[in-house]
Structure 1
């Protein structure tokens, strides 16, 4: 095992984590948001409605993703300087990223997302509107495929990688290394529009499910590549193929969900996550008893 054990190198001081979070993530969010704030101030809007701001949806999405790209760059640099830990060592504790795992998880989750859309079309076809606009969709493909994986990698690198290693180094508990970052991941999305529209306790279980499942994958697989692949394709897929008026990223997707059903969406996500986990468990022959073992050299 290498991933969590990377935190036992004597450079896991809490002060360093505070510096990375404050100057890396928060600082990157502030710096990266300056172009977006410029347009918000010019338009006089109080909401992120790019249409009323006079902005193209694709350009608006670039502005929304930019803070995560800046945060990713700053966090990687700070972790390298403060912890002497490379990008790959934060991903899986070694000098090489397992790209095949990233691709496998992305492909598997994409298949499950297709099943989800087909299910929605079957059970509530009147709630799904076809709205393909090629002139807006083709640029969206370029933006989504190039930039959204950077946004999701920022979240996975910081939470499932760096912060998970920190929790493991501090507590020596693999379960806490799953649950604490998973809870923080959910809370990071507490101010998303869909949460505000439908209620904290209704929507947040979706994010908590993602956070815990991705944490389990990372601890059992000794690295975050599976979470990186699934998270990236999930966000890319939704941006390209299914949007709704409450989505944090408004896009020219192929389908629009006219009314979000958060309870059904949560149940669907839980079912898909269980199927996803079982397939990966069978493929990679994980030892579930690992979760109860202390993190040690």
Structure 2
């Protein structure tokens, strides 16, 4: 239903191309510049932080997502003439309880795991909490991170998933394509340079998880809540000198990063368990059809007359 509602005579695939091409093109150019010019991303980030401060660097980083989300909404609403509610969900209105549930369950999990990691290996962390800096950053993060995570969800699991679904008349290709592209989008992140390409398994696996819950739940609400919790709680709890987010967090990771079970565990253990939790709570069924089935026409009309 989430994809099917766009399968009408008014569908124009060409209107789905500008945003993905522009965004992915910018990501590709950024990655090529880093490789061809042999740029040290970590050093560039540190130089900017030394020059402007942590909060200013964070704000500058987030502003592109603020403008991106606003422009995407304007494009969908006034150029494609699609209802923003239908852009978000197949339900009659956005289900905020779903967003809060996904946020709570993943945010709570992250806090528990971080606390366990800190108490089991305190030598890997330093206490970074400074109330005067933390609460200012908290306000900035609560305002700006939702723009970043929402832009990525609306672009990949919304705009691109919907367009490819109607174009290909199936669900498996949009799920596969958007998940892989979502993972590869992180290639320029300093974490990849520090830990190696194997970390892309986590990023692509996260893309698949978000795509699956979007298709099974027939809306973006769970993906929006999960993604927000993932980025916001991480930014507030832990920072490190080798991550894309440099923040005034509670803890600072000073360990030498390496790929271990704790990095791959979410993809192969935690995400499947979360799927079972969501499935039980929201009564999901007919998995094969919803994830790989054909996209047919329905009576619902997402277009604004």
8 A contact 1:5–1:295 mirrored in 2: yes
2:5 is aligned with 1:9 = no
Q: Secondary structure at the match of 2:209?
A: helix
Counterpart among 112, 115, 122 of residue 118 in structure 1: 115
Q: Distance in 2 between matches of 1:114 and 1:269?
A: 14
28 and 93 in structure 1: CA distance in 2 versus 1, 3 angstrom threshold: farther
Match of 2:280 in 1: 282
8 A contact 1:28–1:68 mirrored in 2: no
Q: Distance in 2 between matches of 1:226 and 1:81?
A: 26
Q: Distance in 1 between matches of 2:118 and 2:62?
A: 29
Question: What TM-score results when the alignment is normalised by the length of structure 2?
Answer: 0.85
CA deviations 1:201-254 (Å, max 9, x no partner) are x21111111100000000000001100001001100011001111110100110
Q: Secondary structure at the match of 1:247?
A: coil
Counterpart among 203, 221, 226 of residue 199 in structure 2: 203
8 A contact 2:180–2:204 mirrored in 1: yes
Match of 2:184 in 1: 187
2:167 is aligned with 1:170 = yes
RMSD of aligned C-alpha atoms?
Answer: 2.3
8 A contact 1:101–1:229 mirrored in 2: yes
Give runs of aligned pairs for residues 74-85 of structure 1, distance below 5 A.
Answer: 74-85=71-82
Q: Secondary structure at the match of 2:296?
A: coil
Match of 1:100 in 2: 97
8 A contact 1:50–1:57 mirrored in 2: no
Match of 2:37 in 1: none
Counterpart among 68, 71, 84 of residue 71 in structure 1: 68
Q: Secondary structure at the match of 2:45?
A: coil
Counterpart among 265, 269, 272 of residue 270 in structure 2: 272
51 and 163 in structure 1: CA distance in 2 versus 1, 3 angstrom threshold: closer
8 A contact 1:50–1:56 mirrored in 2: no
Match of 2:36 in 1: none
17 and 292 in structure 1: CA distance in 2 versus 1, 3 angstrom threshold: closer
99 and 19 in structure 1: CA distance in 2 versus 1, 3 angstrom threshold: same
Task: Kindly tell me the number of residue pairs found equivalent between the two proteins.
Answer: 280
Q: Distance in 2 between matches of 1:273 and 1:123?
A: 23
Match of 1:258 in 2: 254
Question: What TM-score results when the alignment is normalised by the length of structure 1?
Answer: 0.87
Give 5+ residue unaligned stretches, structure 1: 30-44
Q: Distance in 1 between matches of 2:24 and 2:117?
A: 37
2:27 is aligned with 1:21 = no
78 and 115 in structure 1: CA distance in 2 versus 1, 3 angstrom threshold: same
Q: Secondary structure at the match of 1:15?
A: helix
8 A contact 2:65–2:148 mirrored in 1: yes
2:154 is aligned with 1:157 = yes
Give 5+ residue unaligned stretches, structure 2: 28-41, 298-305
Q: Distance in 2 between matches of 1:208 and 1:79?
A: 26
Q: Distance in 2 between matches of 1:278 and 1:219?
A: 15
8 A contact 2:91–2:219 mirrored in 1: no
Q: Distance in 2 between matches of 1:249 and 1:144?
A: 11
Q: Distance in 1 between matches of 2:254 and 2:50?
A: 22
Alpha-carbon distance, 1:95 to partner: 4.9
